[in-house]
Structure 1
Amino acid sequence: MKYSFVLLLILSLGLSLAVPVIYGGLESFHLLGRLPLWGMALLLGMVLLGWRFNAARLQILAGGLGRPLKARQALGTVVAAEFAGVATPAGSGGPPTLLFLLSQRGLSMGQSAAVLAVDTLADLVFFGTAIPLALLLYFLRSGISHPLIFATLLLMLALSGFGLLWLLIHKHRSFLLWLGRIGRRFPWLRRFRFRIGRMVVHFRQAITYLIRMPRYRLVALYVFTASHWLLRYSVLAVLLWMLKESVPWAYLFLVQSMLLFGGQMLLLPGGGGGVEVGFGALLNGYLEPSTSALTLIVWRFYTFYWYLLAGAPVFILQTGRAARRLLTLKP
């Protein structure tokens, strides 16, 4: 493993812990006693269940290619890929790890790339429908505490997600032509033509695979995708609920989307430092400094530190001798 990688990870962890201390001082760690043990267990259970939903997606996709995965294999693959994603700059280690492990499970490299492409496309479909709904809820100042509102939100999310999937499957040629016209209008995109071309190839692989999937597999794929991300993005909302703080769920969803996407743009693993600064800036109007620091420490534990602690041994066990090459991103 390169020393530069180790230094980047240490720097990221240091900044991730330093920013909350700057916000709320060392008193923030003493406030951890405000959280009940059952609450900490609940948050951990949400993360683990989210991993299981993510693993179920892999099982659906691999099974559709005639290469069924056992539950333990799929879960180990997900946890190892999540670790590689948060442990490397811009999450660059996640996709190679996923491709490598799927190839070790009996899938060809082409099949593994198709699984990765469909998995990524399912995520994009979810966020392409969830973010507009969250924006609508936020601007309408609507809460989702009432069960009827929550059920309506889930129904709208499901219907819009299935609708977008249907459009991508049946209108993908028009979509690609539209992207091509957009690209020609921006000359600076030519610098990224190879990367864009690779994305188009993966997109076509995903569409070809999705066209052949039975409808019940498509429904299950989207349900597990939505369940995974809703659980992951609800950790912060549940944490604030336990601290008796009132912040609109739609706003929290949008904040996390911006922070985690922005973190991918930073050179430090997990977006260390940048995510924390953004968190404080976006939630400063809702939380006191000490509460903000406490919330940030706990939230980052379940969405960053835990991925490193629990994922490292799984990654090493799953990848073996290939661990060094995958983490240092050598060809």
Structure 2
Amino acid sequence: MTQSFEAAIRSFAPSLPLGVALSGGADSTALLLACARRWPGQVRAFHVHHGLQAAADGFEQHCVALCRQLNVPLHVQRLDARSAAGQSPEDAARQARYGALQAMVLAGVAAPGIPCIALAQHADDQVETLLLALSRGSGVAGLAAMPAYRERAGVAWHRPLLRVSGVDVRRWLREQGMAWVEDPTNSDTRFTRNRIRADLLPAVEAAFPGFRETFARTAANAWQATELLGEIAQEDLALIGLPPALGLLRQLSRSRQANALRHWLRHQYQTTPSAAQLAELLDQIAACTTRGHRIHLKVGRGFVVRSALHLDWYDPGVCVS
């Protein structure tokens, strides 16, 4: 079952002091307010100013006023989150936001030793993320959507509201008499996520009233499968070596080759191959039985190449001295 906002906060047990990502919208405003009340003096707020729209200054002003009212230290990072060629604006902003939040935590701008940061995504956000993954033909990593807890690069990320509906978050916030700011792009149906929210979710709720809970179980099951695939990939790469040895890689089944290569590229180079790119790479590896066979394939934002008896990857946009 979905949780009430109050129940989600009661069951949230992070390490302290706690960082809270604050956009100024209803969800993050509610999360910060609840955390500041529960752990007075132990909460810090982090706001990322994306510089993408005129309303961004208003978001920051709201965050400043709110944190002053709650007596919560606020730390603001301004950045240019414009997308690169071929990159979606939403993805560019998301990556820039998470990078800025992580950098602020690791730099100790709020206080040294903040072990974790809380994010305000809720059950509706999780459903939207899952539907986006389905529309793109994603594998289990995409269907895992957003985990409730994850450690990455020395930072623990919590999402305590993933079983709380967006309606319940706003209901609680109104009961507290608190204001928030609305992002004007949230109603812009040029963005796929907004079309899902406005057009698809009402129809899904009419047909399947308990969809938030069942979709959350699907995402949780997919996350377990993703973790298992990661463990298998690590075991295989420990035998194959880094960079991967072609001869040892060919001894694996095609599915395990694909799993190991995805893991290698994602964790070593922060790039993800498309399904077509990965299929072509696997075909080339199967055909690569002679010393003269050349591999030079576009994969992710760079190229996978054959280097003697191994595979390698490089980004032509990055100069290596």
Question: Structure 2 length normalisation: TM-score?
Answer: 0.28
User: 1 or 2, which has the higher helix percentage?
Assistant: 1
User: 1 or 2, which has the higher strand percentage?
Assistant: 2
Q: Between the two structures, name the one with larger relative contact order (CA 8 Å, sep ≥ 6).
A: 1
Question: Structure 1 length normalisation: TM-score?
Answer: 0.27
